[in-house]
Structure 1
Amino acid sequence: MGRISFKGMLGLVLSAICFAVSIFFPWWALRLTAPQYKEGLYMWVYPYKMEGNLDIINSLNHYIGMKQFSEATFPELSYLSYIVGGVAILTLVIAISRNRTLLAGWTVIILALGIVGIYDIYRWLHTFGANLSSSAPIEVDPFTPPIFGTNQLANFETFSFFSYGAGFAGIAIFLLLVVLWKGKERHV
């Protein structure tokens, strides 16, 4: 497949930096709004922690019988940042090696990891929304919150979205694809 060009190598270095930087920003978020919470309640999910109005959200979720959100509930948060850091390092190693065959294989692996990550978010959203306690004070039908988009639940409107960390990871993946497509060293 040839070697990666010098510009392609720089693109991969930038990709590795984007992967590394993504660790320090939230990847996914949820905003809940209702008449009594016009400013919105937020939950920010980083690769290693959760932040936001978790206490209030959990106390509200209790009324519909949803399990509590916490870092302990999501085992992925104990190791995901290490995986992303490893991805950044291996991307940098491939940049230095300038080997397009390695880049092709690596890109397939990264795309597969992205699909698995999105499925994992869906799986958790489904698990939390579909397994409601039957003894909850307010009875609602089981549901699956969207990974991206809005949902109406009683008087709450939820908006789920990918945040800055996912944006950095997306840029990193885009750079991998561009370098794979256009980054071949040319001989004249």
Structure 2
Amino acid sequence: MKKIDSLNRALIFIAAILMVSAYYTPLWQISLWAPQYPEGLNMKIWIDRLSGDVDIINGVNHYIGMKHIGEEMFPEFIYLKYVFAFIIAFGVLAALFAGRWMAYTFLGMISLLGIGVLVDMYLWGYDYGHNLDPTAAIKVPGMSYQPPLLGYKELLNFLAYSGPDTGGWLISASGLLMIFLAVRCHLEDKKNKSANPYL
């Protein structure tokens, strides 16, 4: 089994430990600003719960027929903590055993997790913004209220923002560390092959 050096092992360990932040910090945030809410409304999505101005946002969105936001909408809250635990444990083992294939597998897990979260957020946002109550007090023909996946978007008189929160940024840092490791390993292989073409 091809081994990695001590620096790369340290990078893997740091990447795994950074992911522990998911249990203690919010992963995602959705914010809304409007003339009647100049200070903004904010909803934070954690690994297993919601926090922030969820009740106020529900009250506002009720008038345009959007579904009530509740933790029951997110079955991910039940199993996501176990997914994170498995990936973190694998990362720690990859650092301990220093196997190249384990390092790349760990990078693949983080990448798939990130892609999965983004796809999941998009699908939730699409359903939330398009499947409206036809009996709502305010109806704008042809209008949907899908929040942005990343960045800003105007929805009627609201400016909406969606993006990573503290935990999301730290997990992104884990992914970047692993990408740096993969590039470093590739450059080391090229250097070794140039020095000894028979490797």
State the TM-score bracket (shorter-chain normalisation).
over 0.9
Q: Residue 10 of structure 1: CA displacement?
A: 0.8
In the alignment, is residue 81 of structure 1 matched against residue 81 of structure 2? yes
Residue type matched to 1:149 in 2? G
Counterparts of 2:113 and 2:155, CA distance in 1: 31
**SS in structure 2 of the partner of residue 47 of structure 1:** coil
Q: Residue 50 of structure 1: CA displacement?
A: 0.6
TM-score using structure 1 length: 0.92
Question: Counterpart of 2:64?
Answer: 64
Q: Deviations over 1:100-157 (max 9, x none)?
A: 0122233223212211111000000001001011100001312422111222222211
Question: Counterpart of 1:144?
Answer: 146
**Residue 22 of structure 2 contacts residue 167 of structure 2 at CA under 8 Å; is this kept in 1?**
yes
TM-score using structure 2 length: 0.88
**Residue 100 of structure 1 contacts residue 180 of structure 1 at CA under 8 Å; is this kept in 2?**
no
Counterparts of 2:157 and 2:109, CA distance in 1: 42
Residue type matched to 1:172 in 2? S
Q: Residue 181 of structure 1: CA displacement?
A: 2.5
Larger mean CA deviation between 146-155 and 10-19 belongs to 146-155
Question: Counterpart of 1:95?
Answer: 95
Q: What runs of 5+ residues in structure 2 fail to find an aligned partner?
A: none
Residue type matched to 1:81 in 2? K
**Residue 31 of structure 2 contacts residue 40 of structure 2 at CA under 8 Å; is this kept in 1?**
yes
In the alignment, is residue 159 of structure 1 matched against residue 137 of structure 2? no
**SS in structure 2 of the partner of residue 151 of structure 1:** strand
Q: Residue 171 of structure 1: CA displacement?
A: 0.8
Counterparts of 2:145 and 2:100, CA distance in 1: 44
Q: Which has the higher contact order (CA 8 A, sep 6+)?
A: 1
Question: Counterpart of 1:168?
Answer: 170
Q: Residue 163 of structure 1: CA displacement?
A: 1.1
Structure 1 stretches of 4+ with a deviation exceeding 4 A read 183-188
Aligned-residue CA RMSD (Å): 2.0
**Residue 42 of structure 1 contacts residue 53 of structure 1 at CA under 8 Å; is this kept in 2?**
yes
**SS in structure 2 of the partner of residue 147 of structure 1:** coil
Counterparts of 1:40 and 1:69, CA distance in 2: 18
**Residue 147 of structure 2 contacts residue 161 of structure 2 at CA under 8 Å; is this kept in 1?**
no
Larger mean CA deviation between 140-149 and 158-167 belongs to 140-149
Residue type matched to 2:58 in 1? N
Counterparts of 1:113 and 1:157, CA distance in 2: 28
Counterparts of 1:3 and 1:43, CA distance in 2: 44
Residue type matched to 2:128 in 1? F
In the alignment, is residue 21 of structure 1 matched against residue 32 of structure 2? no
In the alignment, is residue 2 of structure 1 matched against residue 2 of structure 2? yes
**SS in structure 2 of the partner of residue 80 of structure 1:** helix
Q: What runs of 5+ residues in structure 1 fail to find an aligned partner?
A: none
Q: Residue 85 of structure 1: CA displacement?
A: 2.0
Residue type matched to 2:38 in 1? K
Structure of higher CA gyration radius: 2
Larger mean CA deviation between 80-89 and 6-15 belongs to 80-89
Residue type matched to 2:4 in 1? I
Counterparts of 2:85 and 2:46, CA distance in 1: 13
